[in-house]
Structure formats: structure tokens, C-alpha cells
Amino acid sequence: MRILILGGDGYLGWPTAMRFSQGGHEVHVADNYFRRRAHDEAGTDTLTPIGPDLPTRAAAWREVTGREIGVTEGDLVEWDVVERLFRDFRPDAVVHYGEQPSAPYSMKSREHAVWTQTNNVVNTLNVLFAIRDLAPDCHLVKLGTMGEYGTPNIDIEEGFIEITHKGRSDTLPFPKLPGSLYHLSKVHDSHNIHFACRIWGIRATDLNQGVVYGIETEETALDPRLATRFDYDDVFGTALNRFCVQAVIGHPLTVYGRGGQTRGYLNIVDTLRCVELAVETPAEQGEMRVFNQFTEQFSVVELAEIVQKAGIEHGLDVEVTPIDNPRVEAEEHYYHATHRKLLDLGLEPHLLSETLVESMFATIEQHRERIVLDHILPRDRWRS
Amino acid sequence: MRILILGGDGYLGWPTAMRFSQGGHEVHVADNYFRRRAHDEAGTDTLTPIGPDLPTRAAAWREVTGREIGVTEGDLVEWDVVERLFRDFRPDAVVHYGEQPSAPYSMKSREHAVWTQTNNVVNTLNVLFAIRDLAPDCHLVKLGTMGEYGTPNIDIEEGFIEITHKGRSDTLPFPKLPGSLYHLSKVHDSHNIHFACRIWGIRATDLNQGVVYGIETEETALDPRLATRFDYDDVFGTALNRFCVQAVIGHPLTVYGRGGQTRGYLNIVDTLRCVELAVETPAEQGEMRVFNQFTEQFSVVELAEIVQKAGIEHGLDVEVTPIDNPRVEAEEHYYHATHRKLLDLGLEPHLLSETLVESMFATIEQHRERIVLDHILPRDRWRS
């Protein structure tokens, strides 16, 4: 298959590209290096060293495996970039990771909020119009987020819910309570994609993904030049990555507020498998499928405890300290989200274990001198 | 009260401004004349002559009533325009009509779609940040649309619905099935506003308005220079306006498809009253209220029949002809939408009658020479 990976320079984009290339597919990646620029501006960086750009990464991939990955350096907000990608590459599937992915980034200021929503909504609209006009059979596999749902007081279903009301029923989009202006951009995308499926007959799979952890895949392990990024900073890092870095440097694990915030999590290896499963069994023409893409639920306190336990095993002295929550979110809440569809397609989960956390410690220790200490704690408060 | 009307040059914006001014409030209007420019580009125009710009309209208002309406000519997508409005005028309430209001316009092309969503989403984000940072007590009264809900197979509630699911319940945003890229922009706005209320404590009322008809209000009737616009063209016109024009010029009333498309409708006089009621009884800090703002439901065929009947009374020879539907929408469907909250606040509906339609005939006959014949039928098809 001809598979286009948008955001192919990213934490998940690059490993996804290598996986499909290794599987014998024809792969093309596109990226505008937004995250690299945002890191440069903030004075932060990925902990794991990665190639300086996509051509260099693709050259290393060719050297190691003999396989080709095509590269476009460009911005998906510009229609001629998207048009050229679809005209020249004629994808059978497009895996769309190409968005501003950080909630704290979107909450920094009005400018960051407007930029995040404009960037994400417009580039997805461009992709939808490109599919409609240039590749109507192409299957859109779009990376959404479990954060679109927020934390309702009922079980979260996969995209749609059957509602019985005043004696009638209908299956309707699951109501959304997103928790940041970034998460809102994904909600906007989901509505736009659903419309495009209904009106234009586009086929799409919206992967409402949980928080991904881990950096090792079969392909990243082949050569250090094929590594993917590891973000632990206040803007692009995840709580688990931050905790692992804090454990290694002897800093208390900083839990935001009471720490009852519960979310879905999955291993990067499972992300790649989920995307593969989605691409291999495409949605029908006109269908918008939604998969809740995670394998386990944890609260922030539970994550901290796992890291603490693994740290002690590893000979580290690890404390857990709550700090004032910079976000505005429920710190204790009901959370139960369905995630059957990917299991039904054959996903075999790799669960979070202390062994995996210890392997993350090892990577962090290896690159310890690259840690930027003053960008681990939150800098922006979401309340006005 | 100090009331800021965004989109104050529009069909509803200008009459709303006059109403509040007449009521003794301090009123400021802002508009970027988007609709005038779009009409110029298309070669269409309002049937009723209106003043050439807001300063001229405000001068006529001053001459007729001795009252002042402040004017800003500017684009709400530009932050400094919005910032200056809020800093200088310090509104107690902002009535936000300032968006691209046409579904067919948004469906013309990728450029029109992207522009519509960017314009509408960004200017509402700007307003939310302005309230947060410059006028935290200001009540946002935002014009949404009944079209956000689409045509689900259950009763439509006012913004939120209590869902019982797997033994638990929660009151959640009503699921949205918007029918155009314009309607989607309003769905995006609603989600952004809800977030701003939840996270920043903003107070907002989202008026999910039906289709408005009529051009006469107490204030427009004072002087011909105070008239509001009447659009009947393929892009900005409504079905009822189109039917009235067709009846007058002896053209068959063109019903799109089977004509079972049912929507909520209300008289412009009731729109003004609803906005007044919302402003007079503001939402609580942190509350996002949603009112379904319409008084009656009609199918397109029913509207055509009302116009036909009124036409015959009026001595016109009126036929009804179905044409191929340029839109993609259910042409026969269940439709029952709750609209209690404004009635509970005291709204006394003015219902659609043949007398009102006949008064519209009279206005159309008066300006008959201004009718642009070749822009009545649809030019753009929504299916790809």
C-alpha cells in the first residue's frame, strides 16, 4: 500500500513510518518541524538525540534497511503542500499525526490558542478536501485523543452512544468535554471528519488515543540514528516521562493536585500495532469509525507509585510530592472507557510494567547530561 | 447597560443595536462589512436599500431619535480591534452576531470552508480571551444556530441532555450533527465557549436560533433609512425569503428535493425580544446557558404552501415546483425540538401568518426593480 504519514517527524510519526516501510509498504512522510521549533524557542529538547531532519533520518533508514521513505518538508496548512502530496504520492491511506499535540502549549496565551486551533483545524480540512477531490478511496486514519471525552460521569463509549430519550432512540456522537484548547481542536476535527464522511462519502478512522509511553520499537532498536524523541518538559512531556526523569535526577515526583486524574495509557508498540490494524482493515466508504486506543487506565498517583517502586528496585531514592495543579481539571472522578474495537481486530496489549519503567531509567541515565532542569516544572497556569 | 453588538451591520445586528439604544442602553456596534463585500463580489445585494455604512446608519438613528450608537469598523479576527473594543467600551454584555452566517457560502470551495471556520472560530476565541482578561463580568450572548443539532431521531433539548447509560447518569452537551461547514463552525464555537465557562468562569448564553424572517421592527419602521437588509439570493437568502420573491415575480416556488426538511422559525421581532431577555437576565459566572430560540416548526413544503396561499389572497398566481436538492440533507425526518426556556423568561411569540407574508410581498413589490434574477436558484452543489 501507499501510505502517507503526516507529522512523520514526530514521536509517533517517525516510528510509524519505519514500521510501515519495514512491512513492505511504500511510505512518504511530511512534517513542518513545528515541535522542533517550539523546543528551540523554549530552550528545551528531546532527551534522546534524534537526526537533525527527515532527510537525514530517511538516509539512516535506507543505510540500515535498504528501504526508502519519501520526505516532504512542508506545512499542511498550505494547500499547495497538501495538494502536491496527494497528487504526486496518490496514497491509499493517510495516517494523520500532523497537529500541534500539546495541551499546555495551547493554554500559554491567546496567540498559542488561536494558532493551535487554526493549525489543527485547517490542516485537517485541507486533508479532507484533498481526499474528496484527489483520492476519494483513500482511508484517513486520524489521531484523535481520549481527552476529547473529558471525564463524564458515565462510561465512555467508542465515538458514538445509543441514547434513548422520551421514548425514541438514536446512535449519536458521544458528547465531548475536552479539557484544553488543544483538546478542543481535536473535537473540532472529529466533527469536521464526521461531516465529510456523511456528506462526501469519505472513509475515516478516528483513533482516540490515550497517553503513549515508551520509545523502543523493533525499528528504533535497529540503530541509534533511528531513535524517536523523548519529551519530559513542561510543554511536550507526559506525566510518566516527567516522573521517570525526576526519579533519575533525585527530584520528588510532582503530582498535580490530588492525583486522582485517571486516563488511558498505551505502549508505543501498541500504538504502531493499532495504526497498522486500522490501515489493514479500512473503514467503509462514508463511514467514520472511532476506536478508543489505549490498553490500561491509571490515575496520576498510580503512575507515580509505579515509578517509585521501579525506582527503588533500580536503587534510586524516590519521593512523591503533590504540587498545586496548574491545570483546571477534576482531580477525583469516575472514569471508565470502553476499548473493545482494537482488541476485536487482534491487538495484543503490552502492559506497563516496572521492567519497562526501569528500561526508561536506563535510557534517561544514558542521556542524563542533556536534561534541562528548569523546564520540568509547570510554568503556565490555566486559570485566568 | 453598556452593550456591545458584534456584527452590528447585519440583518439582525443593526435592529438589535437600535432596540437596545431605544431602550436607553449605551450601545456600540462593530462590523467588518464581510457580507456587503461578499454580495459585491457575487453581484447580489439586499432587496431593501440600507445605509452605505455604519456611520451613516448611526447618523440617521441620531437624527430620528436623538440617540447615539457608537461605531467601530474593523475585523474581529484582529486581536487589537477586539482588545480596543473591550478596553475602550468596557461592555456589560456583548451580543455576538459577528460571523460568516451562510451555509452555502461555506460549501462553495475549500477556500470558503477554511475561511468560514477560521473567521468564526478565531473571532469567538478573541472575544472569549477579551472577556477573560479585560471584562470578566461581561455576559456573552452568542448567536448559535438550531442547525448545530441537525436532525437526530430523538427530541432535541436545549444544549444539554441527561443521559442514563449502564446504570449511571450525567447531563452532557447534546450531540451535534451539523449539516454544513458553516454549521460546524458554530459547533466549534459552542465547544470553545463551554470550555471558557468551565475553566475561566465566563458567563455565556448560546442562542441556538432558528431561521429568522421579517424585516419590520419598531425601530426599522421609524424611518426608511433605518431599514434592515432582506437577502433572497442563493447564498445569503432563506427559503422563505426566496419563496416570497418568487411569488412576486411569478416564478414557481423552488422546493429543494422532497421538502420534508423541518426547521425552527421565528419572527425578527421575537429575535430582538429573545436577545433582550437573555441580556436582562444574564447567565451566572461560569454558566453556559443554551436557549433554543425559535417559536414554530415548519417543513419547506409547509412554508411553500403558506406563501402560495398568501399569494393567492394577494392576487398572485403561485406554483410550487420541486428541484434537485443542491444540499446533502435528510428530506424526510423526525424533528421535535424543545424551546421552553425563552417562553419561561416571558417571550410572547409572533407567529408566521399569511398577513405577515403579504406584508413581505408589499416590500418586495416596492423594490421589485432591485431583484437580481439570476442569483435566486442554487449555483453550488454540496455533493462532491
Strands B168-173 and B160-165: antiparallel
Is A379 strand, coil or helix? coil
- Rounded percentage of chain B residues whose pLDDT exceeds 70: 100
CB A74 within 8 A of CB A30: yes
Give me the helix-helix angle, B110-134 and B181-200, nearest 10°: 20
Q: Which of B108, B142, B186, B341 is catalytic?
A: B186
CA dist., res. B44 & res. B373, Å (int): 9
CA dist., res. A31 & res. A13, Å (int): 9
Give me the pLDDT at residue B16, please.
98
What sign for the dihedral angle of Cα B115, B184, B333, B340?
Answer: negative
- Chain B from 269 to 308: CB within 8 A of any A CB: none
Helix, strand, coil shares of chain B as percentages rounded to 5?
A: 40, 20, 40
Give me the pLDDT at residue A1, please.
97
Strands B2-6 and B93-96: parallel
What residue in B sits closest to A334 (Cα-Cα)?
B168
Asked if A199 reaches chain B (Cβ–Cβ under 8 Å), the answer is: yes
Give me the pLDDT at residue B243, please.
98
Interchain proximity A383–B174, CB inside 8 Å: no
CA dist., res. A37 & res. A44, Å (int): 10
Interchain proximity A170–B152, CB inside 8 Å: yes
How much is the pTM?
Answer: 0.98
What residue in A sits closest to B168 (Cα-Cα)?
A154
Give how far A306 is from chain B: nearest CA, Å. Answer: 30
Interchain proximity B113–A121, CB inside 8 Å: no
In order, the DSSP letters of A86-127 are HHHH--SEEEE--S---HHHHTS-HHHHHHHHHHHHHHHHHH
Of A64, A65, A58, the closest CA to residue A22 belongs to A65
Residue A266 CB partners (closer than 8 Å, separation 6+): A209, A210, A211, A212, A213, A274, A293, A294, A295, A296, A349
Q: How confident is the model at residue B31 (pLDDT cuts 50, 70, 90)?
A: very high
DSSP run (H or E) holding B22: helix B13-22
Q: Determine phi and psi for A123, rounding to 5 degrees.
A: -70, -30
Interchain proximity B79–A195, CB inside 8 Å: no
Give how far A319 is from chain B: nearest CA, Å. Answer: 31
Is residue B195 over pLDDT 90? yes
Contacts of B191 in chain A (CB under 8 A): 176, 178, 184, 187-188
- Chain A from 146 to 175: CB within 8 A of any B CB: 152-155, 157, 161, 163-166, 168-170, 172-175
Task: Give yes or no: B335 in active site.
Answer: no
B172, B180, B383 member nearest A175 (Cβ): B172
Q: Which of A145, A205, A228, A295 is catalytic?
A: A145
Q: In the block, which residue shows the cell 519521593?
A: A319
* Cα–Cα separations (whole angstroms), residue A151 to A155, A160, A175, A309, B195: 9, 16, 11, 28, 13
Interchain proximity B114–A125, CB inside 8 Å: yes
CB pairs under 8 A between A and B: 148
Of B11, B102, B21, the closest CA to residue B327 belongs to B102
Q: Determine phi and psi for B304, rounding to 5 degrees.
A: -60, -40
Give me the pLDDT at residue A66, please.
98
Give how far A169 is from chain B: nearest CA, Å. Answer: 6
Contacts of B121 in chain A (CB under 8 A): 117-118, 121, 188
Going residue by residue through chain A, which has 384 residues, state the pLDDT in tens, using 9 for 90 and above.
999 999 999 999 999 999 999 999 999 999 999 999 999 999 999 999 999 999 999 999 999 999 999 999 999 999 999 999 999 999 999 999 999 999 999 999 999 999 999 999 999 999 999 999 999 999 999 999 999 999 999 999 999 999 999 999 999 999 999 999 999 999 999 999 999 999 999 999 999 999 999 999 999 999 999 999 999 999 999 999 999 999 999 999 999 999 999 999 999 999 999 999 999 999 999 999 999 999 999 999 999 999 999 999 999 999 999 999 999 999 999 999 999 999 999 999 999 999 999 999 999 999 999 999 999 999 999 987
Interchain proximity A133–B384, CB inside 8 Å: yes
Task: Give yes or no: A176 in active site.
Answer: no
Q: How many residues does chain A have?
A: 384
Interchain proximity A126–B114, CB inside 8 Å: yes
Q: Which of A186, A217, A220, A271 is catalytic?
A: A186
Best residue of B109, B112, B176 to probe chain A, by most A CBs closer than 10 Å:
B176
- Computed over every residue of chain B, the mean pLDDT equals 97
CA dist., res. B149 & res. B144, Å (int): 11
CA atoms within 13 A on the CB side of B295: 19
Q: How confident is the model at residue B384 (pLDDT cuts 50, 70, 90)?
A: confident
Of A74, A58, A55, the closest CA to residue A66 belongs to A58
Interchain proximity A334–B168, CB inside 8 Å: yes
Interchain proximity A154–B165, CB inside 8 Å: yes
Best residue of A107, A149, A153, A161 to probe chain B, by most B CBs closer than 10 Å:
A153
Is residue B60 over pLDDT 80? yes
Q: Which of B145, B220, B238, B262 is catalytic?
A: B145
* Cα–Cα separations (whole angstroms), residue B242 to A86, A228, B87, B233, B360: 40, 59, 41, 7, 11
* Nine-digit cell string for B137: 463580568
Of B218, B93, B117, B378, the closest CA to residue A195 belongs to B117
Q: In the block, which residue shows the cell 535506507?
A: A62
**B329-351 pLDDT, tens digit each:** 999 999 999 999 999 999 999 99
Asked if B51 reaches chain A (Cβ–Cβ under 8 Å), the answer is: no
Of B237, B113, B367, the closest CA to residue A122 belongs to B113
CA dist., res. B3 & res. A121, Å (int): 32
β-sheet with B203-209: strand ranges across = B69-73, B26-31, B2-6, B93-96, B139-145, B203-209, B288-293
End-to-end CA distance of chain A: 48
- Chain B from 321 to 380: CB within 8 A of any A CB: 328, 334
Of B340, B119, B376, the closest CA to residue B237 belongs to B376
CB A204 within 8 A of CB A136: no
Burial class (CB in 10 A: 0-12, 13-18, 19+), B348: exposed
Across B99-218, where does the E strand assignment appear?
139-145, 160-165, 168-173, 203-209, 211-213
Interchain proximity A125–B133, CB inside 8 Å: no
Interchain proximity A191–B175, CB inside 8 Å: no
CB A278 within 8 A of CB A141: yes
CA dist., res. A72 & res. B246, Å (int): 53
The total of other beta-carbon atoms located within 10 Å of residue B59's CB is 15
What residue in B sits closest to A383 (Cα-Cα)?
B200
Task: Give yes or no: B182 in active site.
Answer: yes
Give me the pLDDT at residue A384, please.
73
